[in-house]
């Protein structure tokens, strides 16, 4: 029954298997909602719940199908006969490096992530990506030293690691892409003069008095200040 007292049509239930135990859950629920509906409590891995952070990587199989599938639990709607396993995180190969010692040389990423040489071009990474990133394309751009293209293609990556979990060459795609974006941002893109001035002002504590003033204000005054703020057109 809804809040206004009207009866709702009976919701269809579907069977899913969580940790190999069968549960019946409403067919409209996401994997994350279904697990909570079944009594599981998320202590970690629930993240933003909006498909942006990549914290809820999930592996699943469908009954009668041997294919291992991947998804984000906050986005994937349950399917009948779904067998679920969630990962708290994917332990990708994250290398340490000093950006001050790098350059825009095309071979920089390959020196730090030499496994990119082993890419088979099988496109399993792209097929595993739940947000349909052109993963193989940005890996190819990194190998070619095209940092601008790699940064553009990998910009929306949520770092969930599902691509890496299926890669036969054991490439950690998100970490390699992150290095490519950092190289592009530091050595390729022209420095913005407004940004340089803002950083200099921050280091010189230009904004410190204003921040201290805000911190000393009570909640009502802050709300009024926010409501009457000047908004640029």
Residues 46 and 65 grouped into a single domain: yes
Residues 128 and 74 grouped into a single domain: no
- Is residue 55 within 8 A of residue 47, CB to CB? The reply is yes
Total domain count, the chain: 3
Domain that holds residue 214: 193-226
Mean pLDDT across the chain, nearest whole number? 88
Residues 141 and 79 grouped into a single domain: no
Q: Is 110 exposed, middle or buried (0-12, 13-18, 19+ CB in 10 A)?
A: middle
Task: Dump pLDDT digits (tens) for 72-112.
Answer: 899 999 999 999 877 666 667 789 999 999 999 988 899 99
- Is residue 222 within 8 A of residue 214, CB to CB? The reply is yes
Task: Dump pLDDT digits (tens) for 18-69.
Answer: 888 999 999 999 999 999 999 988 877 788 888 888 888 888 999 888 888 8
| CATH code assigned at 60 | 3.10.20.740
Domain contains 38: yes
| 197 vs 122: CA distance, rounded Å | 46
Residues 174 and 131 grouped into a single domain: yes
């Amino acid at each position: 029954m809804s809040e206004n007292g009207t009866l709702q049509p009976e919701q269809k239930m579907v069977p899913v298997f969580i940790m190999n135990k069968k549960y019946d859950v409403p067919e409209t629920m996401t994997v994350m909602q279904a697990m909570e509906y079944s009594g599981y409590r998320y202590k970690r891995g629930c993240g933003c719940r909006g498909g942006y952070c990549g914290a809820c990587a999930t592996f699943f199989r469908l009954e009668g199908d041997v294919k291992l599938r991947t998804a984000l639990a906050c986005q994937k709607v349950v399917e009948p006969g779904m067998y679920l396993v969630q990962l708290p995180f994917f332990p990708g190969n994250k290398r340490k490096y000093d950006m001050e010692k790098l350059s825009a040389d095309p071979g920089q990423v390959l020196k730090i992530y030499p496994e990119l040489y082993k890419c088979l071009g099988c496109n399993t990474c792209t097929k595993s990506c739940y947000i349909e990133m052109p993963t193989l394309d940005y890996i190819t751009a990194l190998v070619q030293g095209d940092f601008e293209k790699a940064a553009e293609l990998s910009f929306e990556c949520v770092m969930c690691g599902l691509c890496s979990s299926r890669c036969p060459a054991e490439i950690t795609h998100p970490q390699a892409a992150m290095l490519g974006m950092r190289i592009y941002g530091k050595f390729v893109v022209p420095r913005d003069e407004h940004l340089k001035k803002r950083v200099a002002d921050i280091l010189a504590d230009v904004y410190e008095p204003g921040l201290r003033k805000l911190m000393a204000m009570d909640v009502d005054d802050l709300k009024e200040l926010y409501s009457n703020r000047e908004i640029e057109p």
